[in-house]
Amino acid sequence: MIRFTDADRQKITATIHAAEQRTSGEFVAVAARVSDGYFSISLLWAAGLAFLLPAVLLFLPLQIRFVHIYQLQLLSFVALTLLFEFVPALHMALVPKRIRHARASRLARAQFYEQGVHLTREHSGVLFFVSLAERYVEIVADKGIHEKMGEEAWRRIVAAFVDAVRQDRVTEGFVAAIEACGEAMATHYPAKPDYTDELSDGLIEI
């Protein structure tokens, strides 16, 4: 699992602070360790494999009583559940990509509201979200920002952010995305002399 150093946190904070000097936009960076426990997925896999065990045993040249098969089935269910839960890489590999991304996207949007990004005076808040276990990236912007900047600009910023996270360069991904977004927003949301910092500039880790 990727861990942020103090230097990483300071670099992200400095980048947000610098970007906010160029625009009235407000930027928040959130990194989640994982977006969901996916316990139900582990249970489904463990139950499915345990359910298949009797068929495998019956085809083997073994003299085994049905009660013992049942006991082995229960033991295998428990053992597989524990294995899937305590080996994070295996656990995550069992979760379909569609489900991983749906849960991470849901958390990103929840954080947009929980961190108060929607409450800025200019309605110019932007959340940069990474879920580390899922290698998932999302940039959630307040109303109107997408339309003013254009979809193509957002796609480029997000694509570069995703590439960096996939290469485990999460801090660099945050920095590049924040800088690019600050530069793009400066035209439509120029800095104002009465600027006040409304949201946290530090990396929020959940």
Whether residue 195 has pLDDT greater than 70:
no
Greater model confidence, 57 or 82: 82
- Rounded to the nearest 10°, the torsion over CA 115, 116, 121, 122 is 70
Residues 170 and 132: beta-carbon distance below 8 Å: yes
How high does pLDDT run on average in the chain? 91
| pLDDT given at position 152 | 85
Tokens 């019956």 found at: 58
| Mean predicted confidence (pLDDT) in 7-11 | 97
| Mean predicted confidence (pLDDT) in 83-98 | 92
| pLDDT given at position 63 | 79
Distances (CA, A) of 160 to 37, 81, 157: 28, 37, 5
**For the segment 63-76, what is each residue's pLDDT rounded down to a tens digit?**
788 788 889 999 99
> What span, in angstroms and rounded, lies between the C-alpha atoms of 45 and 40?
9
Lowest mean pLDDT among 2-11, 91-100, 142-151: 142-151
| DSSP line for 96-116 | -HHHHHHHHHHHHHHHHHHTT
| pLDDT given at position 40 | 92
| pLDDT given at position 136 | 96
| pLDDT given at position 99 | 96
> What span, in angstroms and rounded, lies between the C-alpha atoms of 203 and 120?
18
Residues 19 and 176: beta-carbon distance below 8 Å: no
**For the segment 135-154, what is each residue's pLDDT rounded down to a tens digit?**
999 999 988 787 788 788 88
Residue ranges and CATH numbers for the domains of the chain are: 6-35+97-205 (3.10.310.50), 39-93 (no CATH)
**For the segment 32-48, what is each residue's pLDDT rounded down to a tens digit?**
999 999 999 999 999 99
> What span, in angstroms and rounded, lies between the C-alpha atoms of 60 and 53?
11
| Mean predicted confidence (pLDDT) in 6-12 | 97
Whether residue 24 has pLDDT greater than 70:
yes
| pLDDT given at position 30 | 98
| Mean predicted confidence (pLDDT) in 29-34 | 97
Element (H or E) spanning 23, and its range? none
> What span, in angstroms and rounded, lies between the C-alpha atoms of 92 and 124?
35
Whether residue 77 has pLDDT greater than 90:
yes
| pLDDT given at position 130 | 98
Whether residue 88 has pLDDT greater than 90:
no
Tokens 């009797």 found at: 54
